[in-house]
Amino acid sequence: MRKIGLLGGMSWESTAEYYRLLNEGVRDALGGLHSARIVLSSVDFAEVERMQVEGSWLEAGSLLAAEARGLEAAGADVVLLCTNTMHRVADAVASAVSIPLLHLADATADAVTTAGLSTVGLLGTAFTMEQDFYRGRLEGHGLKVLIPDTADRALVHSIIYDELCVGRVEHSSREALLAVAQRMVDRGAEGIILGCTELELLATPGSLGAVPLFPTTRLHVEAALRFALEG
């Protein structure tokens, strides 16, 4: 079994889901007392969030690149950046190590295209929805990507940072999030990407009826499990 390097803490709420899902996946695949071989580097999210707000992406990239080098030195065979938003600096992380980085947007796009869809709505932080680093990666797989309007983007961003990242899971926010998703479906989205790892604390496949939701944390974990258990 290959060793998985998790670069997490952004936020730790979703990183805990990565740890749980990876271990459950190995247990289900191998049975018995098997668990995943994992090394984890968990950063202080307050520091990273400051860099996001200031637009200090070079500084953030240097920080996460150094953490990735630490994972490689600890024996990791692959790196998972456990956050959609910080894939803004994925290239800096990937270039800092000699082991592969499994890109979250690639795993998500593979799932969408396998489902036979071509137009999806994207929910996430304002950085993920509005900047090109994530949408462009999805579009590179041939997908058309819709995002919410300005007010809805601000609402989703607030739910993520003010509630989910600090452990608050509110029923009213779940309903508001699904309403935002439905408005994108009304505009032509065939499925909705939960493009923030914390959003799976609010919504799961089936939450929007027959409209498929793509849970990026689970999709990322599935890609990592295939890599770790290959052969």
Q: What are phi and psi of 120, to 5 degrees?
A: -130, 155
* Per-position DSSP letters for 86-145, written without gaps between them: GGGGHHHHHHT-SS-B--HHHHHHHHHHHTT--EEEEES-HHHHHSHHHHHHHHTTT-EE
Active site residue 216: no
Q: How many residues does the chain have?
A: 231
Q: Distance (Å, rounded) from C-alpha 93 to C-alpha 79? A: 9
Question: Are 201 and 20 a contacting pair, CB within 8 Å?
Answer: no
Q: Distance (Å, rounded) from C-alpha 160 to C-alpha 163? A: 6
- Of these residues, 15, 82, 83, 216, which one is catalytic? 83
Active site residue 196: yes
- Of these residues, 196, 197, 216, 217, which one is catalytic? 196
Q: Distance (Å, rounded) from C-alpha 47 to C-alpha 73? A: 23
Task: Please identify every residue annotated as catalytic.
Answer: 83, 196
